[in-house]
A = this chain, B = another copy of it.
């Protein structure tokens, strides 16, 4: 009773085109090591047979992955895997953007995309323990490692207590450092809720993804050591480039 292992799993008339399904399969094969990095993919005819589709359909999938920078095709030689492995992004009580990526990348930083003051939505108000409609500061940021976007986040802070945190963030490029300016020397992650969905238009633009990509979504509340909520955030990670490692708290 073996051999059903990976099995053919191409679904027709599913709303997802065959070339996109095959592109996903190839991405997954790279992620699991089935297709080694820098090695050649099987030739197009072999892939077509393997997935039970026409060669041109395989070509569409490959062409999309070449567009995404995952593969490089060379006429007469073959098609080669470029993509590196996924980043392993640590999540725990003391999650900090740069701390946990040490050793995996040579360069990493956070870019402040936008900031605004707005009334707290019910969800944000509940997370921060504020009255509904209280003013909060929202920071939109993007995390980058080795020049590639690896996260996209919105963070909300109580506007009264953290007035000017947007400027601090713009200067320091670090939420930890910005919070320190307001007397927050330490903070803990109180809760994290995790889900996944297809990337929307904003995700596609900010994370440099192709349509159909998946994002991991975390919704988290950070608190001071004495339990006072200071930050509510929603982060999105491109599933093809990032995995989340849940570390001991």
Q: Which residues of A contact B (CB under 8 A)?
A: 1-2, 4, 6-11, 14-17, 19-21, 23-25, 28, 64, 86, 88, 91, 93, 114, 116, 118, 191-198, 200-202, 204, 210-212, 214-216, 239, 243-249
Contacts of A244 in B (CB 8 A): 193-195
Kindly list chain B residues whose C-beta atoms are within 8 Å of the C-beta of A16: 15-17, 20, 198, 211-212
A243 touches B194 (CB 8 A): yes
Q: Which of B192, B196, B249 contacts A214 (CB 8 A)?
A: B196
Whether A216 pairs with B196 at a CB distance below 8 angstroms is yes
Q: Are B196 and A196 in contact (CB under 8 A)?
A: yes
Taking a contact as CB atoms under 8 Å apart, the answer to whether A248 and B249 are in contact is: yes
A235 vs chain B, min Cβ distance (A): 13
Residues in B whose Cβ lies below 8 Å from that of A248: 93, 249
- Contact assessment for B24 and A20 in the assembled complex, using a CB-CB cutoff below 8 Å: no
Whether the Cβ atoms of B214 and A198 lie closer than 8 Å is yes
Min distance, Cβ A144 to any Cβ of chain B, angstroms: 20
16 example contacts (A-B, Cβ-Cβ < 8 A) are as follows A2-B118, A7-B202, A8-B201, A9-B201, A11-B211, A14-B210, A14-B211, A16-B198, A91-B246, A93-B248, A193-B245, A194-B216, A195-B216, A196-B216, A196-B239, A197-B239
Q: Which residues of B contact A215 (CB under 8 A)?
A: 196
Cβ contact within 8 Å between A202 and B9: yes
Complex Cα–Cα for A91 and B202 (A): 29
Minimum distance in angstroms from A27 CB to a CB of chain B: 8
- Asked if A15 and B201 make an inter-chain contact with CB atoms under 8 angstroms apart, the answer reads no
